Amino acid sequence: MIGLVVSGYDKMPEALLVSLQLATVPQDNICAVPLKPSNDENEIEAQRQALLKAVLQVDSGEGVLLLVDSFEESAGQIAKSLMQKAIIEIVAGVNLPMLCEVSYRRDALSLRELAEIARDAGRSGIMHHSTGPESD
């Protein structure tokens, strides 16, 4: 089974996992790693180690899909720094539709295929509805 790690600022990763558990069945090999914005090198390194520990913890030998809030922010930058230390694929822009889809399909796909599914499910999960008048 491909492991899943969700990371981003503050309580967002944990809140997504709570929502996932409510929307699906309980999940194995999944964890959340909340991060804090920081310019302190020691704090950044501590967060890098926490993320690496989570990746290694959920990896059952098939790799880990690391879902982050943004490539440009801390989680994405720290995640990219782990690419040489573990077999991971990173997808930014994590949302609940993405997380639900990959949780259902991670037993049947390769890590690369699952990352592509995550990307596509995240995009298709974004919708817009309006009740106001159309404007040009």
For residue 82, being part of any structural domain is answered with yes
Domain that holds residue 38: 3-124
* CATH, residue 83: 3.40.50.510
For residue 132, being part of any structural domain is answered with no
- Range from 33-47, 71-85, 92-106 carrying the lowest mean pLDDT: 71-85
Number of folded domains that form the chain: 1
For residue 45, being part of any structural domain is answered with yes
pTM for this one?
A: 0.90
- Name residue, tokens 């967002």: 12
pLDDT digits (tens, 9 = 90+) for 4-53: 999 999 999 999 999 999 988 888 999 999 998 888 999 999 999 999 99
Burial class (CB within 10 angstroms; exposed 0-12, middle 13-18, buried 19+) of 111:
middle
For residue 56, being part of any structural domain is answered with yes
Model confidence at 136, pLDDT cuts 50, 70, 90, reads low
For residue 94, being part of any structural domain is answered with yes
For residue 136, being part of any structural domain is answered with no
Give me the numbers of helices (H) and strands (E) for the chain, helices first please.
5, 4
Q: Is the pLDDT of residue 65 over 80?
A: yes
